Structure 1
């Protein structure tokens, strides 16, 4: 599997397995199946309520812990040093692990207060706790999630250890060009969540059902879902997919078997400029 090298030299598989909504025994079975299919990069979070089952699935798999790349997240509402420090320890305990491969702040703001005042000081306090975990080798890399370039700038010049990754919503129709460009200029890896677009946008059909997406998928001899995942991985660096279906797991891993041309990446990245805000594509 293709790996992406973070700025500190840590290697992360470019195709990850998301755990959101896969709780309990259903999640455990899905994680075991994903491991058997070949996934080694798993993305969890304190708020997903999947850490316990994921940790159990990894232990029961018989595959060495060192072969996995495990990401977890500090909840967006935790904007203080002490709670960030304690929450990292709790995630390690639930997973049954001595270290995480990546720990990230889930959002720059508390989810229920996205329109509230600036949270930069709280993010810096949480970042300090995460940095201490990094220095103590409880975490191999630290990063952010859902941070725009403006959110990153508010902490970049004030932190000792710089963010190594930013996980953002990124898919055809929503490329977040300014944030992706900022991350690439600053050596921050970009991980894409919701590569299939999530719920249909503004009354539209789901992204894999878009006529243009189907047309390009046919050109490359892949499914629309595979085209969407490959686009997100090429536009950023890493893509996180989620499924409980073995056939779809294998299909997700197979996106390494083709490459979208720069010309087609440009065309796909310019779909639905409403989401891009008129920004130029990285492939322009």
Structure 2
């Protein structure tokens, strides 16, 4: 059995927001500005986390990985989206679609696991402060980051390959702005019930399981905070966890709506707008959330600007 010829030769048409041409013009500007903010904000996070000695901690190690994932994730989607928003051409080559599917799914899955790993790091920081350095040692941090990346790669190799093998009988109109599993399996001209079950199981494992681990970590954190009598310690614990909790809410709140109920009318009607949020908006907000609420990052930014000024840049 080989990949059917139609799936190799035919370009796909990304319908996207073409039914609302006036909205396309506004979206082009919004997406472009947001993408530039994503690139700039996440690059700064990577730069200060890797050059500032005060930020050489597990939290910033994982934050660097999150920023790298966000840059690559949006870059796998946004350039094609901008091209489609700016003019009448809405096509993407079969190869381009396959690459986008593999890369975006790998990175989206990696982010799910990475956010759970970061929740465990926050749990260790708040609940095991005296043993934090021993628990979150460099070897464990590298192993956890590796697990996140490997999970993403493993998931996309399975799901994307199965999706691309589905016979489509010439169907090429994709009612989305990028090549994503839930919308691509709808193009198949065979019974896709097994694929929907597989997608649901994969979503449970890579979305709901990490989310359950995040909630468990925060359950322990809340219990630990309640036992703390010091107001200063309360503030420190909330400051430590607040940024991560906000990022988790934004990312999981939108992505679960698309992947956990891909067949519902809600997901079908608003799916493109929800997807726009977790693919374009959230990666731009992550650096802002972490910098606006964080004295360490603000201090590191100040030191970076001073160094740049001293060098005459």
Q: Give the structure-1-normalised TM-score.
A: 0.24
**Which structure is higher in strand share?**
1
Rg larger for = 2
Q: RCO higher in 1 or 2 (8 Å CA, sep ≥ 6)?
A: 2
